[in-house]
Amino acid sequence: MSRVADLWRRLRGQPRRQGGNGMPTVRYATSPLLASRTPPWRVKFLIGAIGLGFAVLIGRAAWIQIVHNQFYLDQGASRYERRIELQATRGRILDRNGELLASSVPAPSLWAIPKDLDASPAELKQLAKLLDMPAADLKKRLDSNPNFVWLRRKVEDKVAQQVAALKVKGVYELREARRQYPEGESAAHIVGFTNIEDEGQEGIELAYQKQLAGRDGSRHVIKDRLGRPVEAVGDTIPAVDGQAIRLSVDAKVQFYAYQRIRDAVLQHKAKAGSVVVLDAVTGEVLALANVPSYAPGDRRNLTGAQLRNRALTDTFEPGSTMKPIVTSLALETKRVRPDTIISTAPGRLTIDGSTISDSHAHGDLTVEQVIQKSSNVGTAKMALMMQPREMWEIFTAVGLGRKPQIGFPGAVTGRLRPYKSWRRIEQVTMSYGYGLSASLFQLAQAYTIFATDGELIPMTLLKRDGAADAVAPVRKVTQSDAAEGPRPVLAFKTAFRPGSDNEAMPAPAGEPVQVHGTRVISPATAVAVRKMLNLATMAGGTAPKAQALGYSVGGKTGTAHKVEGRGYSGNKYRAWFVGIAPISKPRIVVAVMVDEPSNGVYFGGDVAAPVFSQVVQQTLHRLGVVPDLEVQPQIQSNLPAEVESF
């Protein structure tokens, strides 16, 4: 400091002063830096700036520490705290005997962090091959996100092991749950399938998604720098596993039915086929099979033709299978008796300028023979004895024009026009199955009135718990209901209770408990029609090939031209058979449909009846039903069959 003062003095021409110790003397009061006065605004500005800075710092601290502290707490916690999802196990789907139809198993899923990926072109090519995708697609996927991409989810263990053997840096494995379907194609249309996120897309998987899915849980943990959990923090929310759904379906009966209809479709070079098996005592669906089918565990390349549950979603004109229903009405109203003679000569009948015909002239037939030989003319004459409203009411009472109440997605209502719009010729053609439409399932349920002494019983795809269900008619069906659209005829309480331990329930032993429904015809009428259905499977009937070893059977064939455009195709047919067994004490109703047989044979008695025979034998044996006939060496399938009128 003295050197500065001395230099200053020298610049001003003043002599250098010496102190007592020989050092220069500095006079600070005469410093030019202090010679001028500081402006007052500068002092105020500096003080204000300093105060403002402190205010900003205090405000920022208050914002971080008091007002907006949660964000920073969350950011801090994210560095060391993690939320681990506790995945719920999807519920199993079981058949009536506890056999697995669908379950969840662990499966590896492969993922990658592209920015960390360290692989040569050859390794990437090999990785793409193992993942069953083109190398270009793999590259595109890796370029889509630098932080995370799925490579392939829920792969086979063998694939995951092969990928791990490549030791590609940046590729990792995660264990997920994959749905497994042991029965494969045979039960696909009942069970359905889930998507990659384990959400139901078809069948029971879709219908009972909420019960099957359960609820995921979670827990919070503190992780070390390597990502390993070291301490749990906060409350743990446990996962709630999905409920098991126990179906009424018997896996063995389902497989039998699928095999038989598949073989028939192949044999007759048909487009498709379906089988429905109902327990006429308990109201349970024992089988519901369709061809073509699909493997529910493989969701790739599925088509609408494969996915369609034809027994429930496809409707068609039921043809001659309507004749027993019309005949039962004629018997119930005392217009005819089983032995009443109806003249069908000369095999034709003209009504309002339109002619209906039999396959050939039969002459005089009893009412029993009208069903046995499937006479259009005889059925038409019985229909003309009735009012349109009467026919409409019994059609509605057996479930036609009404959506089946089985809680299954895709079930359709069919078509039944209000009776007030019927012309006379339309009333006649409806009596033998033209001018209305129904699904195969609706036809099968309609025939339960003949198997249960006149009652239409409620159907279910869920196993009943052994107690007869309560059935309460809501109200009488009226013509206005048809005009307003389909409504449930009856309200049924199902025996299935969500949350009940259906898995642990053993199969009931002994006689099944009868489920009661709504009475449609009297027991006497039902017995009389059963006898007619039995005659149709005997010599002189349209379906001798429906006979089953050891069991008495009865049923009705149906054959119809397919609708094509505004008319009917001349060479495309549907063939079906709906029947009951055993006739002496009915236990099951079986309905078979074959679509477009094209191998030279197309009548229901030739195409569908043999499938009915095989399914009846295997199903009744499976149910432990004692044969009611002496077992013959072979079915008398070579008996002459009546040519069906259609």
Backbone phi and psi for residue 24, each to the nearest 5 degrees, phi listed first: -65, 145
Query: How far does the chain reach from its first CA to its final CA, in angstroms?
Result: 129
8 Å CB contact between 587 and 278: no
The long-range contacts involving 351-356, CB below 8 angstroms and separated by at least 24 positions, are: 351/380, 351/384, 351/424, 351/425, 351/428, 352/423, 352/424, 352/425, 354/425, 356/380, 356/428, 356/429, 356/432
CB contact at 8 A, 533 and 556: yes
Question: Are 543 and 537 in contact, with CB atoms under 8 Å apart?
Answer: yes
Q: How far is CA 207 from the centre of its chain?
A: 6
| Residue 118 phi, psi (nearest 5) | -130, 95
User: ∠ at Cα 569 (565, 573), nearest 5°?
Assistant: 125
Q: What is the DSSP letter of 485?
A: -
Catalytic annotation, pick one of 320, 328, 374, 439:
320
Sign of CA dihedral 392, 393, 395, 396: positive
Contacts 24+ apart (CB under 8 A), 441-444: 441/276, 441/288, 441/311, 441/312, 441/404, 441/406, 441/411, 441/591, 442/399, 442/400, 442/402, 442/404, 442/414, 443/318, 443/321, 443/576, 443/578, 443/591, 444/276, 444/278, 444/578, 444/589, 444/590, 444/591
Closest to 291 (Cα-Cα) out of 279, 269, 306, 301: 306
Q: Look up 109 and say whether it is catalytic.
A: no
Rounded Cα distance between 345 and 327, Å, is 19
Residue 119: Cβ within 10 Å count: 18
Give the CB-side neighbour count of residue 507, counting CA atoms within 13 A: 15
CB 269 within 8 A of CB 115: no
Q: Which one-letter DSSP state was computed for residue 242?
A: P
C-alpha 175/C-alpha 195 separation (Å) is 17
CA distance 248 to 461: 5
**In 3D, which of 280, 281, 328 has the Cα closest to residue 520?**
328
Q: Positive or negative, the Cα torsion across 579, 582, 587, 588? A: negative
**Residue 516 CB: number of other CB atoms within 10 A?**
14
Question: How far apart, in whole angstroms, are the C-alpha atoms of residue 385 and residue 391?
Answer: 10
Looking at the DSSP assignment, which residues form a beta bridge with residue 518?
456
Question: Catalytic residues, which ones?
Answer: 320
